[in-house]
Copies of this chain bind each other. A is one copy, B any other.
C-alpha cells in the first residue's frame, strides 16, 4: 500500500528488459548513437512535427534548462504558486537560468487564474528597466495536485502568453497521465495549443531515468546543446536513456502505464467518495488523489501499513478542519488493484 510517490516505483519490466538486452556492444557517445537518433525520430512522430530532443538527468534539469533557454536579462517566468519549479526544485531554475525570477501566480486547483496571470505579467512592463522583463509562462500538465488543464485551459493561457510575446513552457513530469486523461494527442496538447517547449518526463511513468526537453522549433534553440553541456547534463553513455525511451514508446507502453495509473487513482477516489470518515479534497483527474482526514486517522492508516505523505493546504483553499490534514496518494504503473483494495478495506474498517 505504497502511495508515497510515483518515483518510489522502480522501472517497468519492459523498460528494464530492453535495457538489459541492449547494454552490450559499442555505441557512439554523447548522444550520437543510432538509438539516440532513432528515439529522436520517434519523438518527431509522436509530436507530428520536427522537434528537438535533449535528454537530461532529472525533471528539475528539464525545467531549469527550459527556463535557461528562454531566459532574458532580469527575466521573470510565471508559474502556478505550487508549481514544482517554484516549490520543489531547490533553487535550480533560478541558479541555472542565471538569476531568473519565478513569479508565483495563484489559481484554483493547480491552474493559474487567467486574470491573475494577466495582472502578474502586467507588473513587469517589458520596456521598463527597473522591474524585470517577462520571459516565459509555464504550466504543469498534469498539475502538482493531480488535476489536468483542459485543451481550452491551455488555449486560454497560451493566448495570454502570445499577447505578451512570451513563450509557453509545459512541465510534463506527468505528461502521459494528462494525455490519457484528456484522451488527446501530444500535438493537440502542446504546439497546436501554443506550447513552445516541454519538459517531457518518463521517469515517474515507468522508466528509471528518462527526461527530455522537447522544443517545437529547434531552429530557435541552437544554443540548447551548449546550455545542456554547460549544465553538466550531457550523458556520455546517452544511449541508455534513449533505450528507456525506446521501450517506453514501443507498443504505446507509456499510454498503457499512464492509463493504469490513472485508473488506480480513480479506483482509490471511489473508495474515498464512499467513505464516511475521509473525503476527497478535490476531484482527481490523473494519478494523484488528495483526501482530507483527521490527523489521528492518517496516523492510524500509516501504522497499519499505508505509506503516503501529507500535503500543505493550497493557498486560498478552505474547508480543512483544525485537526485535519490533506494527504496525497500517488499511483503508478506499479500500483495494483490489490494495493488499492487493501487500502479501501482499511478505510472501511
Contacts and interface: CB of A to CB of B under 8 A. Distances in A.
B129 A237 contact: no
Contact of A91 (B101, B123, B208): B101
A25 B10 contact: yes
A306 interface: no
A348 B28 CA distance: 27
A73 B27 contact: no
Majority secondary structure of chain A interface residues (helix, strand, loop or mixed) = loop
Given A23-B11, A234-B129, A237-B209, A226 B59 contact: no
Interface string A237-248: 101100000000
A61 interface: yes
A72 B98 CA distance: 13
A294 interface: no
A317 interface: no
Interface stretch (A14-22, A158-166, A182-190, A321-329): A14-22
B74 A229 contact: yes
A13 B94 CA distance: 40
A57 B232 contact: yes
A77 to B, nearest CB: 12
What is the total number of copies of this protein in its complex? Answer: 4
A235 interface: yes
Contacts of A25: 10, 334
Nearest to A123: B312
Contact of A99 (B74, B95, B208): B95
Nearest to A61: B232
Interface stretch (A42-50, A130-138, A142-150): A130-138
Given A19-B20, A89-B232, 17 more contacts: A4-B29, A8-B26, A8-B27, A10-B239, A17-B20, A60-B232, A74-B90, A91-B132, A95-B98, A96-B99, A96-B231, A98-B99, A101-B101, A209-B209, A209-B235, A209-B240, A231-B232
Which 5 pairs, one residue from A and one from B, show the smallest C-beta to C-beta distance?
A: A74-B91, A57-B57, A90-B229, A95-B99, A61-B232
17 contacts: A10-B23, A10-B25, A10-B237, A13-B24, A16-B20, A17-B20, A25-B334, A26-B334, A60-B232, A64-B232, A74-B229, A91-B101, A94-B101, A129-B226, A208-B237, A209-B209, A209-B240
